[in-house]
């Protein structure tokens, strides 16, 4: 796919009710949670948009812009529509938006590139990632051609991504992965503690692998 036609979009407008505070602003190993996904995707797009309900902190880059949901309380579908409206209102030439959550610290550009490489673009106007029989509705590629239908259905009261995507005829790309789970998301304080333990574990493994590699070269 031509990445020049795609706007990267991080949906950060969730209420974080189970976490108790804006989880995108929580630090994991001294790094903002939202910055993990931004670090992985920023080099894949000409521009990346963050859609949030309020001003938030994130890594500084001339290629990242922050906008507010055009209307609060509409959930992820509202965030998607906000991004599409931004494209239209600013006369951007993007034909697709690629959406990401703000709370998945182990997702990498490797999964993103596999997703794009295995999309059959003529089969649908909406694509989601799937892994281990689970569909990840926020990791999506949405055609700008969906904007009118999306706005109409939101105004009618639709809020569920799952239901709306099924009505559109969403297609999925299955991704197999090795640990750590790239789709592990942080919803609670317990999830955050688990993420810290996962990160420590894989830091040790990474150091061990590098050490063994050096030993082989000697």
Contact present, 58 and 49 (Cβ < 8 Å): no
Integer angstrom CA distances of residue 104 from 1, 139, 152, 173: 24, 10, 30, 18
pLDDT at 12: 92
> Which residues make Cβ contacts (< 8 Å) with residue 99, sequence separation at least 6?
9, 10, 11, 76, 79, 80, 83, 138, 139, 140, 141, 142
pTM, to two decimals: 0.91
Could you give the count of Cα atoms lying within 13 Å of 202 in the half-sphere of its Cβ? 12
- Report the C-alpha gap between 27 and 202 in whole angstroms: 18
The domains of the chain, with CATH numbers, are 3-217 (3.90.550.10)
What is the pLDDT confidence band of residue 179, given thresholds at 50, 70 and 90?
confident
Tens of pLDDT, residues 42-99: 999 999 999 998 889 999 999 999 999 988 889 999 999 999 999 999 999 999 999 9
pLDDT at 209: 52
């Amino acid at each position: 796919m031509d990445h020049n036609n795609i706007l990267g979009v991080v949906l950060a407008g969730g209420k974080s009710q189970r976490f108790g505070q804006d989880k995108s602003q929580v630090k994991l190993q001294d790094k903002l949670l939202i910055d993990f996904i931004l670090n992985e995707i920023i080099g894949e797009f000409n521009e990346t948009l963050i859609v949030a309900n309020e001003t938030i902190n994130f890594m500084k880059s001339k290629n990242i812009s922050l906008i507010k949901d055009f209307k609060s309380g509409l959930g992820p579908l509202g965030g998607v529509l906000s991004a599409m409206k931004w494209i239209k209102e600013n006369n951007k030439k993007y034909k697709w938006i690629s959406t990401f959550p703000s709370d998945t610290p182990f997702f990498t550009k490797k999964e993103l590139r596999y997703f794009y490489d295995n999309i059959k673009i003529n089969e649908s106007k909406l694509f989601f990632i799937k892994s281990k029989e689970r569909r990840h509705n926020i990791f999506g590629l949405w055609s700008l051609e969906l904007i009118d239908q999306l706005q109409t259905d939101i105004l009618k009261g639709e809020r569920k991504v799952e239901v709306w995507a099924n009505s559109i005829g969403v297609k999925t790309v299955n991704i197999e992965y090795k640990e750590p789970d790239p789709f592990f998301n942080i919803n609670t304080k317990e999830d955050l503690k688990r993420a810290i333990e996962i990160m420590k574990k894989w830091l040790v493994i990474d150091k061990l692998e590098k050490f063994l590699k050096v030993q082989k070269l000697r």
